Amino acid sequence: MILLVALLALLAGPAFAVQPDEVMKDPALEGRARTLSAELRCMVCQNQSIDDSDAPLARDIRLLIRQRIGEGESNDAVRTYLVSRYGDFILLKPPLKPETLLLWLSAPLTLAAGLAAVLVARRRQPAATAALTAEEEARLEALTKRD
């Protein structure tokens, strides 16, 4: 359950390496910048979003995002621009395309395989356990009587 961690961390947006001098004046625009930067990878760190990272490159991209958002671009446009510049590598959530199909289908496929295995195992199971032998019946009777 420990890994439910990020499930919420992403949505909440509490922990960031954003510095005070970067923050935009308009809270709505700043909020959009924060949402976007949580989806982008710091290219020189491992598995950290640029929002969390202290690296100078992450700071540059954070400022770039804020500049473009300040100029009136939508989040999608900024994201498209960054992907054209850095490739899919910058997206923390890989896009759905032929190469990543197997990745995205890994969960449903595994679950389906598991369910199939359970069904097959159930079908193979003997219908009932063997009946008791006469001797066992007698012992059972003796045991239950004593109780």
Spatial neighbors of 27 by CB under 8 A, at least 6 apart, are none
* Closer CB to another protein, 2 or 131, in the complex: 2
* Closer CB to another protein, 122 or 133, in the complex: 122
Three-class SS state of 32:
helix
* Closer CB to another protein, 19 or 74, in the complex: 19
Token couple for 64: 């770039």
Q: Which residues lie near another protein (CB under 8 A)?
A: 1-12, 14-21, 23, 39, 41, 45-49, 52, 54, 87-94, 99-100, 102-103, 106-107, 110-111, 114-115, 118, 121, 124-126, 128-129
Closest separation between CB of residue 18 and another protein, Å? 5
Instruction: Please tell me the distance from the alpha carbon of residue 27 to that of residue 1, in angstroms, as a whole number.
Output: 34
* Closer CB to another protein, 62 or 68, in the complex: 62
Spatial neighbors of 65 by CB under 8 A, at least 6 apart, are 33, 36, 37, 40, 78, 82
